[in-house]
């Protein structure tokens, strides 16, 4: 796994998602960027980050060990791995939509007129999983 941890954050080399320590008391003071309403322990937050990494690896689609590890980590945070796939996919789509919405109109373009910029979709730098969206296991 490629999760890098500090006292306050967890980030990944594979995914743009993160975990962060929140203010609060008790052991459950961590939150995942893709599961923000659920307070977690540090171990659960790490499991959530690892789950995201497992689901982001396309080579795991037909790998029984990856299925087992994804299920185990999802159980640790109290959700089904299928729910994680849906939540992570929605985050990817939201980031893609946000970046497309931020693209300014080229100068001199009439309102609503098609404009050829010479750029392709792939030429835009969109923050999403490096290996594509989470794959459905099973």
- pLDDT, the chain, mean: 79
| Mean pLDDT, residues 117-125 taken together | 39
The pTM assigned to this predicted structure is 0.69
| Mean pLDDT, residues 63-90 taken together | 95
Asked if the model's pLDDT at residue 115 lies above 60, the reply is no
Q: Do residues 125 and 69 touch, judged by C-beta distance below 8 A? A: no
Q: Using alpha carbons only, how large is the chain's radius of gyration in Å?
A: 18
Asked if the model's pLDDT at residue 18 lies above 80, the reply is yes
| Mean pLDDT, residues 112-132 taken together | 41
Q: Which helix (DSSP H) or strand (DSSP E) does residue 84 occupy?
A: helix 81-101
* Domain range annotation of the chain: 3-101
pLDDT value at residue 76: 97
């Amino acid at each position: 796994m490629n999760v890098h941890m500090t006292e306050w954050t967890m980030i990944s080399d594979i995914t743009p998602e993160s975990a962060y320590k929140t203010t609060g008391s008790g052991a459950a003071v961590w939150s995942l960027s893709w599961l923000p309403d659920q307070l977690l322990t540090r171990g659960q937050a790490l499991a959530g980050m690892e789950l995201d990494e497992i689901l982001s690896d396309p080579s795991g689609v037909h790998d029984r060990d990856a299925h087992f590890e994804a299920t185990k980590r999802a159980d640790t945070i109290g959700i089904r791995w299928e729910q994680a796939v849906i939540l992570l996919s929605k985050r990817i789509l939201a980031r893609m939509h946000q970046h497309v919405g931020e693209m300014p109109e080229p100068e001199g373009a009439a309102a609503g007129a098609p404009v050829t910029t010479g750029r392709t979709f792939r030429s835009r730098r969109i923050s999403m999983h490096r290996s594509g969206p989470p794959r459905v296991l099973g």
